[in-house]
Amino acid sequence: VRSKGKEVEQVRDHIYKETAGHIKGDPDQIMSCYAPGAAIFWANGRGPETWTVAVAGDSLRTQYAGPKRDNPSPPSNEPPNAREMTHVDVKDNHAIAVSRHWSTRRDSTARETIFNEFRSVWMLAKIEGEWKITSAIGAVTADQEIRKWRK
């Protein structure tokens, strides 16, 4: 008998593993999270009529096949990029999850601070005992705020 709470925790951990792979620049870690034939769609915070297929199937590996890199930490005066899981629902061997991502970037040339936030939707299936991402829609919602610095 499976515990729904444990399944929800496994799904959360799996999405965190995928996003951590992006932060570290580790294509192997990213790819290990996806099912064969997975597809990622890009919404860019706009209506569904504008959504596109961003990466699918074999092109997923090509997209993330670049060399591993360590992304530098942000300067100490900037908060790091952050993410949280805001919703997970599991039924049998299928799950849907929603993640919230946000970041802040200072632009000293333009003398402004840029705040970005978006939410993504993840669909998963338990395949041979492991959760795998079967599809995702990135940036279902997206917001940006730019604050000019005082002179």
What is the 3 state secondary structure string of the chain? Answer: CCCHHHHHHHHHHHHHHHHHHHHHCCHHHHHCCEEEEEEEEECCCCCHHHCEEEEECHHHHHHCCCCCCCCCCCCCCCCCCEEEEEEEEEECCEEEEEEEEEEEEEECCCCEEEEEEEEEEEEEEEECCEEEEEEEEEEEEEEEEEEECCC
**pTM of the prediction?**
0.80
Each residue of 11-62: pLDDT tens digit? 999 999 998 887 787 888 888 999 988 999 989 888 999 998 877 666 666 6
